[in-house]
A and B are shown apart, each in its own frame.
Chain A
Amino acid sequence: MAEQKEKPRKVGAMGMVPYEMALGPTWTKFFEGFKEKKILGTKCNKCGRVLVPARPFCPRCFEPMEEWVEVAQEGTIVTWSYVNYTYFGVTPDMIPVIGATIKLDGVDCGTGMWTQISGFDIKDFELVTKKVKVGARVKAVWRRKRQGNFRDIDYWKIIE
Chain B
Amino acid sequence: MGRAVAVIGTGQTKHGRRDDLSYPDLVREAVKKVFEDAGITPKDVDGVVYGSMPSMMEGMAYNHFYFADALRVVGKPLLRTETCGSTGQSVAHTAIHWVASGMADVVLAVTSEKEHEGDAQATMMTILEPFLQVVIGGAPLAFSLQSREWMGYYHIDDDKAREAASIVSVDSHDGGLKNPLAHIRVKLTKEDVSKAPIITYPVRLYDVCPVSDGACAVIFASEEKAKKICKKPAWVKGIGFRGEEYFIGDSNKAVWQSTIEASKEAYKEAGITNPLKELDVAEVYNPFSYQELMFLECLGFCPPGEAPDYVIKGTFSPGGELPCDPSGGVLCTNPIGAAGLIRVAEAALQVTGKAGEHQVEGAKLALSHAMGGAEQFNGITILGSEL
Direct A–B touching in the complex (beta carbon < 8 Å)? yes
Residue B122 lies at the interface, judged by CB distance under 8 Å to chain A: yes
B interface footprint on A104-118 (CB within 8 Å = 1, 0 otherwise): 000001111110100
The answer to whether A101 touches B248, judged by C-beta atoms less than 8 angstroms apart, is yes
The answer to whether A88 touches B141, judged by C-beta atoms less than 8 angstroms apart, is no
Q: Which of B133, B145, B248 contacts A80 (CB 8 A)?
A: B145
Residue B265 lies at the interface, judged by CB distance under 8 Å to chain A: no
A118 to B122, CA, bound (A): 24
How many of chain B's residues have a CB under 8 angstroms from any CB in A? 46
User: Do A83 and B137 form a contact, CB below 8 Å, given A10-B19, A21-B130?
Assistant: yes
Nearest residue, chain B, Cβ from A21: B130
The answer to whether B133 touches A113, judged by C-beta atoms less than 8 angstroms apart, is yes
The answer to whether A8 touches B132, judged by C-beta atoms less than 8 angstroms apart, is no
**Chain A residues touching B, majority SS:** loop
How many of chain A's residues have a CB under 8 angstroms from any CB in B? 45
The answer to whether B247 touches A134, judged by C-beta atoms less than 8 angstroms apart, is no
Residue B363 lies at the interface, judged by CB distance under 8 Å to chain A: no
The answer to whether B144 touches A81, judged by C-beta atoms less than 8 angstroms apart, is yes
Residue B1 lies at the interface, judged by CB distance under 8 Å to chain A: no
Q: Which residues of B contact A135 (CB under 8 A)?
A: 152
A155 to B227, CA, bound (A): 62
Q: Which residues of B contact A120 (CB under 8 A)?
A: none
A15 to B37, CA, bound (A): 39
Choose among B22, B203, B374 the residue with the greatest number of A CB atoms under 10 Å from its CB: B203
Count of A-B contacts with CB under 8 A?
A: 129
Q: How far is the CB of A95 from chain B (nearest CB, A)?
A: 7
The answer to whether A78 touches B152, judged by C-beta atoms less than 8 angstroms apart, is yes
The answer to whether A112 touches B247, judged by C-beta atoms less than 8 angstroms apart, is yes
Segment of B98-106, B193-201, B322-330 engaged in the interface with chain A: B193-201
A1 to B119, CA, bound (A): 29
The answer to whether A116 touches B122, judged by C-beta atoms less than 8 angstroms apart, is no
Q: Which residues of A contact B138 (CB under 8 A)?
A: 85, 87
A-contacting residues of B (Cβ < 8 Å)?
19-22, 59, 119-122, 125, 128-138, 140-142, 144-146, 148-149, 151-152, 197-203, 245-251, 374
B-contacting residues of A (Cβ < 8 Å)?
8, 10, 13, 15, 21, 23, 27, 31, 51, 53, 59-60, 78-85, 87-90, 94-95, 97, 99-101, 103, 109-114, 116, 125, 128-129, 134-135, 149-150
Closest 4 CB pairs between A and B?
A: A110-B249, A134-B152, A87-B121, A81-B144
The 30 listed contacts between A and B (C-beta, < 8 Å) are A8-B19, A10-B19, A23-B131, A31-B131, A59-B245, A59-B246, A81-B140, A81-B148, A82-B201, A83-B137, A83-B141, A85-B140, A85-B199, A85-B200, A88-B122, A89-B122, A97-B135, A97-B137, A99-B200, A109-B249, A112-B247, A112-B248, A112-B250, A113-B137, A113-B248, A114-B132, A114-B133, A128-B201, A134-B149, A134-B152
